[in-house]
Each structure stands twice: as C-alpha cells, then as structure tokens.
Amino acid sequence: MSRPVLIVGQLTCTSQSLLVSFSSSFPGCPGNSEEHLKCSKWRGRCVKCGKSGMWLQGIFCANYYWSMQNFPPCRQMWCGKCYTSSVDVRFPVKKKALDEYEDLEDPNERERLQVAWGKMHEPDDEFHFARNGDHCMVPFECDLCVFRKLKKRSPDITDPGDELLIACIRRINLDAFWSRSKSTVSGNREKIRTCLDLSKAVGLDGPYEVDGPLPEFDHCGYEVAIDTILYSRRPGRHTKEYTQFDTIRKLRTAYSNHCRSTAQANRSSWSIGDTKGKYQRLGTDPCGSFWFYRFMEGLKRRMGQDWRPNKAITKPLMVRVLKEADHRVEGATSPEERNRWIVFYTYAMTCYVVSLRGNEGLLVDLSGLNRKWSVGGDEYVVIALLGKIKGESGNRAHLLPCIPKTSSGIKV
C-alpha cells in the first residue's frame, strides 16, 4: 500500500508545519530548461495566505525556478509574517529581562527598567516569524527542498516523524533569519529597492540574479542543526524544560572533529600560513558554511546563555580564613606542615587581592618575587607569575603591582 505524499498543486493541510505548495506546470514561468528571470522579475504566491508578491515582498526559496532530484521546482514563497514556527512543536526561547522584575510594585522602577532593557531584548514572539527580505541576508531553502535533500522524497502527511522534521526545518531557517535584527534586514531590503529603482531609471533590471540551485546534498549542515535544536528540548542540568545553548553547541564540535579525522579530509592538505609560521587549515566541513554560522548566531540569540558564575568570597570571610591560616602556621609541629600552611596563605591571599583565577595562583614565581622585591619600595609589591601574556617582552614573567596592605587589613 503506497503512502500519501504531497506532490502536485495548491494544497491545504490541517497541519500548518506541513503546509507546502508547488506546481507541476509553469505556464509563462521559466523552468529548468528556459532562461531564468533576474530577481527583480521574480513573482510568487504565498503558500499560506495566497497573496501575490515580488522578490522583496516576501521570502523566496533559493531553488524557486530549479528542479532537484527529479522533483519539479518547488515554487515556494511566503509573506514574512506567514512563515511562522510550528504551534505544535515548541522550542525554548529566552525570557525577556523585564520578566525578572515583573513583581516590582514601584511604577517608576518598572519604567526605568523598560527604558534600560526595552530595546535590548526582543519580545518572545519575534523569534517565531520571518521578515520580508530575510532571504537577501542568508541562503534560504524552503522546508520542502530541505526535506527532499535529507529524505530523498516528499513529506508524508500521515507520518508524525515527517511532521516533526518539517517543524525542525522551519525552526532552523527562522534561527538563521534571526541572526540579524529586524532593522538590519529592513535596511538591507531598502538599499536593494533603491538599487533596483536606479537601474530601472536607465532601463535595466538590476544586478541581482541567482545563478542556479543549491546542491542536492546537505551542503551546509542541516542535519547537525536539526539534531542541535532537538537536543535543546531535552531536560538540562539547571532546568527540566530545556538544555542550554553552551551544552547543545558541542554537537557541532563533535561533528567537526569527525570531519577533520576522515580519510578524505587528510588525503590532501590546504592551509594558509603567516609570517610567524602559524597555519590555518582549510576544510570541507558543512558546519563551516555561511548558513550554519548564521544559524548558530540566531540560535544563541533565541535561547540566550544561562550564565551561573561562582560567587566571590566576602571580605570578612577572607580575613577570617587568612587569620586562621596564620594561626596554623604558628602552631605547626613540623617544617612540612609549616610550609604547607605558608603556601596555602600565599595562594589564597594572592588570588584574592589581585583577582587571579584558581589555576593562575599556582603560577607565582619565587625567583621573580626575589628579583622584583624592592622595585616598588614601600609603595607597592610586585607579584611575578610564570609566563608572558599580551605581547610582553623583556621579562620572563608577568608582573602584577599590588599594594602592601589592603583597606580590609590583608597584608601582602
């Protein structure tokens, strides 16, 4: 028994995420064997609302006029507001900054926060639709074309797996679109419109054209992108609702490592070298594509980053810790124990006073301390760390000037 597929004609489907439309005949429109129109002449009909529009009045699939894998041209076009994310398959969206202060009773405080944060965080619904002209900022293949690339067939409207895949394709396309703000997309579209008007004034059709369809295989990492957003729907460490961006982005790293370790990637080497003898290797990793770069930017922007830094030790607590270490030094019963507590005191005091990270405190150089001990006189002490940073020269250590005694009473 053959399964129903979406093949020909203008279809209306009960599942919004599977709504696709394409035509088997193209009267008056260039096909694969005819001369293709310049972008300024492209005209389509929105898949969802049926409204007719030109190239800058919606979003057009990059394969609009071309057939792929023996399928007819997709002829997919949407109005920006009509290209929306699935209502049945949800993906995490970061909370607005004002959500953290929604319980504030002082109207002046809420107004102050609105002024400070209102323009820096987009409303949640802005990640769920496209904007006219998005396809002029990032390569765009419609849901149907990407589905056919990955599955080598048309979607089955009765298959829940196909419906989930279509919803994921819609989401990754929207993430790629939202790597750029609404004002950036609008400004780019207006500049293109100005260029087309100027060309029209001298009888030309404008310089914008598409020289052919995109490849028939997954050339820019669609499947890795789909796996990434599906991973985000799993319960995470800090919340049961989703897995945070810093965790799911590692799927790209894993796939890139695989690409670099394959036989094909190591059969020949292409690299760019600089005058210092450093090399940048060139690869064929699909996740290094321009589309995937924009997708990751949009994904990060939609999900945000759950940043949970360690809390600093308070001044009274640090003073108490150092006093206790002093008592342990005085009460030591052996040279080894005394040395251990002196090292601990020096490590804790140095990390706290000059704001070093944990591993950096272990780089204190005793030889450098002896050489630079009297440099600052009574005004400051020089703390020497092994290694050089930020192009330093002339010393074999990184030197940090520090006051001999802090305002809280800590003696360096």
Q: Is 271 a domain residue?
A: no
| Torsion of Cα atoms, 171 then 172 then 174 then 176, to 10° | 170
* 68/177 Cα distance (integer angstroms): 24
The pLDDT assigned to 30 comes to 40
Q: Is 276 a domain residue?
A: no
What residue has token string 């009473």? Answer: 409
Going by C-alpha positions, the residue among 170, 179, 164, 175 that lies closest to residue 142 is 170
Same domain, yes or no: 249 and 174? yes
The DSSP 8-state label assigned to residue 313 in this structure reads: P
Same domain, yes or no: 55 and 107? no
Same domain, yes or no: 118 and 164? no
Same domain, yes or no: 221 and 361? no
CB burial of residue 369 (10 Å; 0-12, 13-18, 19+): middle
- Stretches where the chain sits below pLDDT 70 are 1-36, 95-124, 388-396
Q: Is 272 a domain residue?
A: no
* 200/194 Cα distance (integer angstroms): 10
Same domain, yes or no: 158 and 288? yes
b/e sequence 124-157, b meaning 16+ C-beta within 10 Å: eeebbbbbbbbbbbbebbbbbbbbbbeeeebbbb
Same domain, yes or no: 248 and 355? no
> How far from chain centre, in Å, is Cα 239?
20
Same domain, yes or no: 344 and 286? no
Same domain, yes or no: 105 and 41? no
Cα torsion 218, 146, 26, 211: sign: negative
Same domain, yes or no: 341 and 359? yes
Q: Is 268 a domain residue?
A: no
The pLDDT assigned to 309 comes to 72
Q: Which of 122, 137, 166 is the last residue of a domain?
A: 122
Q: How many domains does the chain have?
A: 3
Hey, is 139 helix, strand or coil? coil
Cα torsion 316, 319, 323, 324: sign: positive
The pLDDT assigned to 288 comes to 93
The pLDDT assigned to 371 comes to 81
Helix (H) or strand (E) holding 54: strand 52-54
For residue 281, report the phi and psi dihedrals to the nearest 5 degrees: -85, 145
Q: Is 367 a domain residue?
A: yes
Q: Is 308 a domain residue?
A: no
Same domain, yes or no: 118 and 166? no
Same domain, yes or no: 188 and 297? yes
What residue has token string 């054209």? Answer: 209
* 130/174 Cα distance (integer angstroms): 6
The pLDDT assigned to 388 comes to 58
* Other residues' Cβ atoms within 10 Å of the Cβ of residue 385: 20
The pLDDT assigned to 395 comes to 57
DSSP code string of 151-175? HSSPPPTT-HHHHHHHHHHHHHHHH
Q: Which domain holds residue 117?
A: 98-122
For residue 241, report the phi and psi dihedrals to the nearest 5 degrees: -85, -35
* Other residues' Cβ atoms within 10 Å of the Cβ of residue 393: 6
Q: Is 378 a domain residue?
A: yes
Same domain, yes or no: 51 and 145? yes
For residue 386, report the phi and psi dihedrals to the nearest 5 degrees: -65, 140
Tokens of 269: 């080497």
The pLDDT assigned to 128 comes to 93
Hey, is 6 helix, strand or coil? coil
* Other residues' Cβ atoms within 10 Å of the Cβ of residue 11: 14
The pLDDT assigned to 191 comes to 97
Q: Is 274 a domain residue?
A: no
Q: Which of 303, 336, 355 is the last residue of a domain?
A: 303
CB 65 within 8 A of CB 29: yes
